């Protein structure tokens, strides 16, 4: 496959956009080459500027769980756009999506909508600090909570790919209030809490990690965090920006039957438009302005186009709960197929998966935290990535990313992908 026009467009973009992209993970810095420019997408496929069709395993990094240009979402956006695209005043639509989200997710009474996952996590931490009157937070190495200053301390995803876990521009004052723990290591968390008695406002965690590849929590890890928080007056924040409305209608809280204090959303909740949200029980949410003292705002928050897209998406998921099982079956089929051919070709690998999230790591040891995720062989990953691209399959251009399975993928697509993995891994 040729990507000539994409390369030309990238050269033009580089002149006026830093690195040619508006979000670093889109660049091919970790794998070499130049990014693909997309023209359109429908269902499981993207069509690029060179006229190639790509089977998409990124799906806008998660939101397109029902496939690209999903008809109910597209229709909802078109209809709403005709009525005006932003008012900066309340609309009934906002109450409708809020009520639906609250009914789908366990353990939340109220939800506030923002414009991105970053905003959701940033606001959740401010709320936790205001509520507990404490300053410090614990985050886990390799977990990504958006690009707000407090989180750019060994963040996953693009922040690792580009070797800037501690970004310049984040002040020492901010960094000192973020304590770093190892994922899946309760003793480490307990020690941090003990050393910072009565100072920790919140523990923020991806309850299933998805920004260092896909890393499910060990048995007892989330329960243990919950207990440590309860015992020490700390709020537990589940960052479900990736997992919310994906691993179950009610996210990881429902999947593992564990209650967090504050939950963050993004990605799927916006149906492909820029949306984030954070939610909690009323006692905590009432701490927000205008009811309470913690300030949080947004000119375009609750934007009618974004809310229409999100509502159409949540309604589709809510009315067909079998989708989550269907997605898991497709993911299992793909993972088992890939395992078989990789083994047959004597490739050293580990595949992690849960629900509709899966990641391939080129290392034999179990991948349970950032340290083990970082051991993957990046040279092999580069060959894997570019090999699949030549076969018309698009996975994220970084070894630290999860693949997202969409309902639009057919078993023929999955078979085609497994055959491509077989072909490509013979060349390692």
Ligand X SMILES: *Cc1c(COP(=O)(O)O)cnc(C)c1O
- Return the SS3 of 370: helix
C-beta closer to ligand X: residue 266 or 304:
266
Composition of the chain by helix, strand, coil, percent to 5: 40, 15, 40
Q: Which of 252, 85, 241, 63 is nearest to 156 (CA)?
A: 241
Active-site position among 48, 56, 239, 413? 239
In the complex with ligand X, the residue whose CB is nearer, 35 or 63, is 63
Q: How far is the CB of 418 from ligand X (least distance, A)?
A: 26
Cα–Cα distance for residue pair 346/284, rounded to 1 Å? 53
Q: What end-to-end distance do the CA atoms of the chain give, in Å?
A: 20
Beta-sheet pairing, 235-239 with 200-205: parallel
Which residues have a Cβ under 8 Å from the Cβ of 256 and sit 6 or more positions away? 207, 217, 222
Strands 235-239 and 262-265: parallel
What gap in Å lies between CA 196 and CA 317, rounded to an integer?
42
Task: Name the residue nearer to ligand X (CB basis): 158 or 387.
Answer: 158
Residue 215 CB, nearest approach to ligand X (Å):
12
Q: Which of 45, 144, 183, 400 is catalytic?
A: 144
- d(Cα 303, Cα 241) in Å, to the nearest integer? 19
Nearest residue relative to ligand X (C-beta) = 117
User: Residue for token digits 């509709």?
Assistant: 356
Tokens of 205: 């965690």
Residues that bind ligand X (CB under 6 A): 116-118, 121, 144-146, 206, 210-211, 239, 241-242, 266, 276
CB of 289 to ligand X, least distance (A): 22
Is 82 among the catalytic positions?
Answer: no
Q: Is 333 a catalytic residue?
A: no
Of 279 and 421, which has the nearer Cβ to ligand X?
279
Closest to ligand X by CB, 134 or 139:
139
Residue 297: CB minimum distance to ligand X, A: 17
Which of 29, 80, 110, 267 is flagged as catalytic?
A: 267
Residue 239 is among the residues annotated as catalytic for this protein: yes
Nearest distance, CB of residue 425 and ligand X, angstroms: 28
DSSP state of 45: E
Beta bridge partners of 100: none
Q: Any idea which residues carry the catalytic annotation?
A: 144, 239, 267
């Amino acid at each position: 496959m040729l990507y000539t026009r994409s390369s030309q467009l990238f050269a033009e973009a580089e002149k006026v956009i830093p690195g040619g992209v508006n979000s670093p993970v889109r660049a091919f810095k970790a794998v070499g080459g130049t990014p693909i420019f997309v023209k359109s997408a429908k269902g499981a496929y993207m069509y690029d500027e060179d006229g190639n069709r790509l089977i998409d395993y990124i799906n806008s990094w998660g939101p397109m769980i029902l496939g690209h240009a999903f008809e109910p979402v597209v229709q909802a956006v078109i209809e709403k756009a005709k009525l005006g695209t932003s008012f900066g005043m309340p609309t009934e639509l906002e109450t409708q999506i809020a009520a639906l989200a609250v009914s789908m997710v366990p353990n939340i009474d109220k939800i506030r909508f923002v414009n991105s996952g970053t905003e959701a996590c940033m606001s959740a931490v401010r709320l936790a600090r205001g509520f507990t009157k404490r300053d410090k937070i614990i985050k886990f190495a390799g977990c990504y909570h958006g690009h707000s200053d407090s989180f750019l301390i060994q963040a996953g995803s693009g922040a690792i790919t580009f070797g800037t876990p501690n970004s310049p521009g984040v002040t020492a004052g901010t960094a000192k209030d973020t304590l770093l723990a190892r994922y899946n290591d309760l003793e480490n968390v307990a020690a941090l809490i003990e050393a910072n008695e009565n100072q920790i406002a919140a523990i923020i965690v991806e309850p299933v990690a998805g920004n260092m590849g896909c890393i499910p929590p060990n048995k007892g890890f989330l329960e243990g965090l919950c207990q440590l928080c309860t015992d020490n007056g700390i709020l537990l924040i589940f960052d479900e920006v990736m997992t919310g409305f994906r691993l179950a209608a009610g996210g990881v809280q429902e999947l593992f039957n564990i209650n967090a204090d504050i939950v963050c959303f993004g990605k799927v909740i916006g149906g492909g438009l820029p949306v984030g949200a954070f939610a909690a029980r009323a006692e905590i949410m009432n701490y927000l302005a205008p009811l309470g003292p913690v300030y949080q705002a947004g000119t375009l928050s609750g934007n009618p186009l974004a809310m229409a897209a999100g509502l159409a998406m949540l309604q589709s998921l809510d009315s067909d709960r079998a989708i989550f099982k269907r997605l898991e079956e497709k993911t299992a089929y793909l993972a088992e197929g890939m395992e078989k051919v990789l083994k047959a070709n004597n490739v050293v690998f580990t595949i992690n998966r849960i629900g509709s999230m899966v990641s391939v790591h080129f290392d034999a040891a179990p991948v349970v935290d950032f340290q083990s995720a970082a051991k993957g062989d990046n040279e092999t990953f580069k060959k894997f990535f570019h090999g699949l691209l030549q076969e018309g399959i698009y996975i994220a251009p970084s070894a630290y990313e999860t693949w997202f399975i969409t309902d639009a993928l057919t078993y023929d697509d999955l078979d085609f992908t497994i055959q491509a993995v077989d072909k490509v891994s013979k060349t390692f």
